[in-house]
Structure 1
Amino acid sequence: MKIVFVSNYINHHQIPFCEAMTEKLGPAGDFVFIQTEKIEEERTSMGWKDETPAYVMKAYESEKVHEECLKKIMDADCALIGWTTDMSLVMPRLKKGALTLRISERLYKKSQLYAYNPRGLIAKYKEHTAFRKGPVYLMCAGAYVASDYGIFSAYPGKKFKWGYFPELKEYGNEDPAELKSKPGEPVKVLWAGRFIDWKHAENALLVAGKFKSEGIPFHMDIIGTGEMEEELKQIVAAKRLIENVTFTGPMEPSKVREYMEKADIFISTSDRQEGWGAVINEAMNSSCCMIVPAEAGAVPYMIENGYNGYVFRSDDTDELLSCAMQAARYPDIRKKMGQRAYETVRYTWNAQNAADRMVQLIGILSEAWGIADDECGVPSREVPAQTVIPWEDGPCSREEVRDESVVTEAALKFNKSEDEY
């Protein structure tokens, strides 16, 4: 089985999945990642590396390489198409009618009202809806993707859950909770991300202020850099939080993980513009008690409010503070939530499981369309046979179109009471 993955660039959030695919399909070049542009300077300043594993081809390097990439895409049994502006690599396969899985975060990150621009709707029809009857499917990298694509009737009954899969760290016989604070020690709180408006790091400082006013011993580390850095530091000074809050600056992802492993509580404060939020995977893997916004794409898929984390509305700071106080005051509950968060990543939302399911899903869809091994993903049937997808949740399980407000409210539903712990 030959599978090609096309996206703007490879990063540390995609490498574990790609390596799992390479291992599963063998070293004979049966998996290729095609990078269509250089990594952004802003990302490298955050500690991201411009990595080039052996399975990566860079289509932008030369016209010859671009042609070689196009041939790989056309000859593949299945193409995974992520975000890219180079549609010259994508449209030929779509027009050929070959098996293709589109991978997308939500489209309308500021508001779905942007969907109703006539010119935009025409463009979406040409790129997506026009292929609704063919072997083209949508892998939803976030719980709000299906709602966005449902606006222009794309991929009806052909959507699956997907996401990002950072490195899975397994601790063997070690208990990751042993790295957390001990009874009587200050609560360790962590926030990590870019200092930009829609990440709302200022709301994490509201939590710091609340803890201080309530007399809760704590220390908060804030990892990152960005345009709002001076403003955030001024808030810390004004609230007299200098002894409680440390700005670490940017650092490599592996170093961020070390901070996560020691943190009791991880806070994400992004609004709806957070298409997924890979730091959520990483902090869950590190057994943190999660306090996360319902509007981040990863949250409705990975977090059950009150079971393996706390969920709040991104624009409701009272909810945020309530969740934070709950986590700070009840260390036993906090620890159990962290353990369950770790198990969610260890057993379901990880790269190996995603790769296993992806290969199985491609096999199921190929069989449904009557695609032979040597046909480069081209079906022998005009209509697919009925398929049974064996997973009820997690990567590659079916996704349905729901109004975005319904998705948010479902994520906010409190699933466990304190006495169930």
Structure 2
Amino acid sequence: MIVLCTNLWNHHMGPVCREMARLDGADFKMVLSEPLDMLERIEGGRSDWKASASGGEPKTEPAAKAAPCVAYEGLLPPQEPWIVQPPRTEADWQTGVYNDLIWTADVAIIGATSRYAWRTIRKRVWAGKLTFFMNERFFRTPRDWKYWLNPRRLASWCRTHLLLSPANVHYLTMNHWCADDLAFFRACTGRTWRWGYLVAVSDAPTPKPVREKVRIGWCGRFLRLKNVCDILQACSSLENSLKRQIEVTLVGDGPEKENLVRLTHELGLDDQVRFLPFMSSADAKAFMRDLDVYVFPSGRQEGWGAVLSEAMDASCAVVANEAAGATLELVKDGVNGFTFKDGDIRTLTRRLDALIADAALRRKFGLAAWRTMQEWSPAVGAQRLTALIDAVRSGHTPRTPSDGLCGLIR
């Protein structure tokens, strides 16, 4: 039996788990560890929440600070036979089947998990049972040696090193930078595998008709780390003849929205840029299918960036910050999109210039992007992960592409 334990349901994890459950002979369970009373508060928009990848306390903020967010959509899980519904309360966790499933599983895959599961997870690791951890990264920003002079941080390094060092522990990195973090902890050498958020993919590429104006877009939560201001700065730097050929739509809500609206006015882009409010996941995908170009300016602080995957599946010509987690895995510069260095507005402007002027290039990149996502689909992910698990359990060398899903990183 394969058990995947994570804190909550989300629409990015669902597709690959559903494919795992569909495989012939599969005995797959998804255990949701966050008590339902917490999830209902999130779903109702009455609290903000941050996931813990190390068993820490959930963090809540007053309702006045809460705002609609794509990440909070659909957290209450569907009724599926392979989903172990979350406990109603913390007390229910202690008396339910959750710890038993994690302990007795032939293979456990551990994502960001609430604190209630960690005693059983550690017990499982020390007992030598095959365990895969799955996470985006340990550090949002690089840490130099001075950071670790603090005794508590040094103790944290030691705990992480000891937890991930046993030969029965493997790691699925949902971010290119996570492998560097594991090297820093001197853990999982020869047991670090490429993974990511595997969004549902379409059966065919999306046609992109040539229109009077090139439609450029972005979708997400307006946070400083998203670097949405880079899009505005780049559009402002375009020649006037190109500015008249674009229609830029920014979708979402968040604390930076007011500043971005003000910047749009200051840069004289009121005729080119419009803002739309938060959309559901389904509406956001429809929005992307109607775009010609998708700009993904998030930098290293972006763990993965599933929105880039969705834009590529929608056959958009993408221009992506090369420092973001998903960019490093999905986008090959000049092949299925363009990349630019973090903060390099001049290069971003040149990339937009080229795409605005060349409809054939947009179509070429869009088709190549869609084909890339066929190799990063939930079905492919489920097959390769199962093959990887079978190979590890039998002591054989996994036969997976080194630069694709479940490829060996280090």
Query: Which letter does structure 2 place at the counterpart of 1:291?
Result: V
CA distance in 2, matches of 1:110, 1:11: 25
Superposition TM-score, scaled by structure 2 size: 0.86
Point out the more displaced range, 322-331 or 38-47. Answer: 38-47
Report the Cα distance in structure 2 between the residues aligned to 1:246 and 1:311, rounded to whole angstroms.
Answer: 24
* Match in the other structure for 1:223: 251
SS of the equivalent of 2:366 reads helix
- Give the 3 Å change call, closer, same or farther, for CA 22–61 of structure 1 in structure 2: farther
Higher mean C-alpha displacement, 87-96 vs 300-309: 87-96
- 1:176 is matched with 206
Shift of 1:113: 2.4
Residue 19 (str. 1) matches residue 18 (str. 2): yes
Q: How does 1:231-242 map to 2 (within 5 A)?
A: 231-242=259-270
2:190 to 135, 151, 157: 157
Decide whether the 8 Å contact of 1:35 with 1:56 is kept in 2.
no
Letter in 1 for 2:140: K
360 and 311 in structure 1: CA distance in 2 versus 1, 3 angstrom threshold: same
TM-superposed CA distance for 1:212, in Å, is 6.1
Deviation at 1:68, TM superposition (A): 1.3
Provide, for residues 233-282 of structure 1, a one-character-per-residue CA deviation record: whole Å limited to 9, x for no partner.
Answer: 11112223222211111010110111110111000111210011000110
Q: Deviations over 1:111-133 (max 9, x none)?
A: 23276355324323323444423
SS at match of 2:221: coil
Provide the secondary structure at the position in 2 that maps to 1:234.
helix
After TM superposition, the structure 1 = structure 2 runs for residues 222-301 of structure 1, keeping only pairs within 5 Å, are 222-301=250-329
Provide the C-alpha distance between the structure 2 equivalents of 1:207 and 1:102, rounded to a whole number of angstroms: 39
CA contact (8 A) 1:161 1:394 kept: yes
Q: Secondary structure at the match of 1:232?
A: helix
Q: Give the Cα separation in 2 of the matches to 1:60 and 1:213.
A: 58
Structure 1 contact 121–152 (Cα < 8 Å) conserved: no
Matched, 1:80 2:113: no
Q: What is the aligned counterpart of 2:225 among 193, 198, 202?
A: 198
Sequence identity (%)? 25
Q: 1:33 aligns with which of 31, 34, 48?
A: 31
Q: CA deviation at 1:387?
A: 2.1
Contact 1:57 1:69 in 2 (8 A): no
Q: CA RMSD in A?
A: 2.1
CA contact (8 A) 2:33 2:114 kept: no
CA distance, structure 1, for counterparts of residue 399 and residue 148 of structure 2:
33
Query: How has the CA–CA distance of structure 1 residues 34 and 127 changed in structure 2, closer, same or farther, with 3 Å as cutoff?
Result: farther
Secondary structure at the aligned position of 1:79 is classed as strand
Q: Which amino acid aligns with 2:259?
A: E
**Aligned pairs for 1:207-218 within 5 A:** 207-211=234-238, 213-216=240-243, 217-218=245-246
Distance of 2:89 and 2:20 partners within structure 1: 24
Name the CA distance, whole Å, in 2 between partners of 1:60 and 1:116.
39
The offset of 1:98, in angstroms, is 0.5
Q: TM-score, normalised to structure 1's length?
A: 0.83
Counterpart for residue 380 of structure 1: none
What secondary structure does 1:170 align onto? coil
Q: Tell me the matched-pair count.
A: 374
Name the SS of the counterpart of 2:32 in structure 1.
strand
Which residue identity lines up with residue 355 of structure 1 in the other structure? A
